Chains A and B, each alone.
Chain A
Amino acid sequence: DQQVKQNSPSLSVQEGRISILNCDYTNSMFDYFLWYKKYPAEGPTFLISISSIKDKNEDGRFTVFLNKSAKHLSLHIVPSQPGDSAVYFCAASAQGGSEKLVFGKGTKLTVNP
């Protein structure tokens, strides 16, 4: 049973527009959520995180929103840049991130110039 779901395997947006990547989770014990970006032949790179005590965290062009009642989070990238083209993984953890991460299957983002 998949505890973290990214239902869109791919997303294509124009440079300068907003990219919105979505993630749903089922385990109510999760209290820490992260987004990772992955380029081919490289390991995932940490992007941004959010604790369950917050509903929004912003870092530059990246903002993560958390809706606990809906068990849903989203990553907004604005403005999108061609260098943002990568696979984005949503991950969740219990106990404030000190436990193992449970990953979604990823969404491949393509930003077209």
Chain B
Amino acid sequence: GAGVSQSPSNKVTEKGKDVELRCDPISGHTALYWYRQSLGQGLEFLIYFQGNSAPDKSGLPSDRFSAERTGGSVSTLTIQRTQQEDSAVYLCASSFVGGATGGEQFFGPGTRLTVL
């Protein structure tokens, strides 16, 4: 079946502009996560959606970052007034929480964001 897909694969923007990154999770997965990986760093948790529960936003670095998940499926991560330090690869993952798999998260290919 189809894996997690993300679009665009690459995004170059100017400082101060807003960007939207999209994630299509694996069908049937109840949980969706956003992470980012800056150069030379590990993956940094941003936000987590699980079913109809309130999202865990504890990883969002500032109020310029927001995300929504519509209909329990597709998610959009929005970064307003982008800064150069926002440049990173933004990764989306999904998992089926509560199943026998133990909740392994399956990742998309990522969106490489470059803020000039």
Contacts and interface: CB of A to CB of B under 8 A. Distances in A.
Interface stretch (B11-19, B61-69, B73-81, B98-106): B98-106
B56 A42 contact: no
A105 B38 CA distance: 10
A103 B48 contact: no
Interface residues of B, number: 28
Interface residues of A, number: 27
A6 B42 CA distance: 10
A105 B42 contact: yes
Interface in A71-113: 89, 91, 93, 96-106
Given A103-B42, A105-B42, A96 B106 contact: no
B111 to A, nearest CB: 10
Contacts, number: 64
Contacts of A97: 95, 102-104
Contacts of A89: 42-43
B110 interface: yes
A34 B42 CA distance: 14
Interface in B6-54: 31, 33, 35, 40-45, 48, 50
B109 interface: yes
Contacts of B31: 98
A100 B104 contact: no
Contact of A43 (B41, B45, B108): B108
Contact of A41 (B42, B93, B109): B109
A101 B50 contact: no
Contacts of B97: 98
Contacts of A43: 4, 91, 93, 107-110
Interface of B: 4, 31, 33, 35, 40-45, 48, 50, 56, 59, 91, 93, 95, 97-98, 102-110
16 contacts: A32-B102, A32-B103, A36-B107, A43-B110, A91-B43, A96-B103, A97-B102, A97-B103, A97-B104, A98-B31, A100-B59, A101-B45, A103-B44, A104-B42, A105-B40, A105-B41
